[in-house]
Structure 1
């Protein structure tokens, strides 16, 4: 699975970071290693492997601190927190970024607020283009987002702010399933299950429970994850 650090965070950081992917001059090894570690960190978290995720995140942090630039490290911290929003872990503060907030860019601060569902109207133009419609509460915001992680982030913010329709939840489930991302899939299935239960749809609820059990059993080596059932 290949996750694009550039697609999600390049608007938030210096354009020179990871520039090799754009066909520019070969960047220093620390930049390539940071990107590789963040890609692996995101993939591990979405697949449900927290141990690998944190080990790779620490490697990325080590490489990025070599630059002495808070904005580059803030990029990694925001991506780390974005995976939580995509997986509906909304009660976990973005501690790594908040320590860097005073030296982060204005766009990065707006994005951090967005992840918490608290972005101000004046901050919306500073967000990555893929997230602006979701921040504005546009019901069709997910339709124009091609990148899977960006789509799940937008859906997660919409759920936080009470703007996620059943169609948004279904798109988040389909996106997670297509990528093989077990953690967000369980979280979004849990949301759909909760809504089916609240609506008295016992057939749908039973079907969703079976799908959750199937998803939890995909990897016998992985510890089962408890699905999120917050509305």
Structure 2
């Protein structure tokens, strides 16, 4: 899974001379912990998620770099947003003053408060959604499944998500087998169906939620 705010470019900045420079240990360790954290959280494996995020945060904070550490906190916020958990991004707040413009823009995007003219500061996957250039159409252009869920969640948070957006997000989560995300997006679909008076569709979606809730 690609990082939401990649650390790869940082490796290039830190690389020394030579054709095959050795990546710093913290970067290698952080990359693995980030991937495991994201998968665990999206799947609802909370104990693993907490452990892996603690490891991830510890590795990046070892650099003493506020910007890099801010990216770790933004990763946590983005994964929460992808599962429709819209709590404030508390871990990023103390780091905001020392974060880059791009990182502050990403935080605002996740909060649903980004000014459209600042969409250019975001990773390319999110610019169409942030710039108001389409809902479902913009999502279909996002290859990374987690990034697609984040973009869909921001559309929902800003009241721009139509039924097709909800379906794309639910299907994306289902294809990945991300239990927590599946439950969240099926729930959003069911709520929308109930509001539209589509009781049979709402009941069908709730039956899918019951299946997704099964855990052996």
CA distance in structure 1 between the aligned counterparts of 2:91 and 2:98, rounded to whole angstroms = 13
Contact 2:43 2:179 survives alignment (8 Å): yes
Deviation at 1:16, TM superposition (A): 2.1
Contact 1:47 1:182 survives alignment (8 Å): yes
Deviations 1:101-127 (A, max 9, x none): 011000000000000000012321000
Helix, strand or coil at the partner of 1:145 = coil
Helix, strand or coil at the partner of 1:95 = coil
**Cross-structure match for 2:10:** 16
Q: Tell me: CA distance 1:113–1:186, structure 2 relative to 1, closer, same or farther (3 Å).
A: same
CA distance in structure 2 between the aligned counterparts of 1:116 and 1:53, rounded to whole angstroms = 22
| Count of aligned pairs | 210
**Cross-structure match for 2:93:** 98
Deviations 1:66-94 (A, max 9, x none): 1110111111111110011110001x111
Match of 1:120 among 109, 115, 122: 115
Deviations 1:202-225 (A, max 9, x none): 2112211110000000x23xxxxx
CA distance in structure 2 between the aligned counterparts of 1:160 and 1:24, rounded to whole angstroms = 44
Deviation at 1:162, TM superposition (A): 0.8
Q: Tell me: CA distance 1:147–1:200, structure 2 relative to 1, closer, same or farther (3 Å).
A: same
Deviation at 1:19, TM superposition (A): 8.5
**Cross-structure match for 1:107:** 102
Whether 1:173 aligns to 2:170 is: yes
Structure 2 length-normalised TM: 0.92
Q: Which runs of 5+ in 1 are unaligned?
A: 221-231
**Cross-structure match for 1:4:** 2
RMSD (CA atoms): 1.8
Runs (4+) of structure 1 exceeding 3 A deviation are 17-20
Whether 1:26 aligns to 2:22 is: yes
**Cross-structure match for 2:33:** 37
**Cross-structure match for 1:227:** none
Contact 1:19 1:27 survives alignment (8 Å): no
Helix, strand or coil at the partner of 1:27 = coil
Deviation at 1:25, TM superposition (A): 2.8
Q: Which runs of 5+ in 2 are unaligned?
A: none
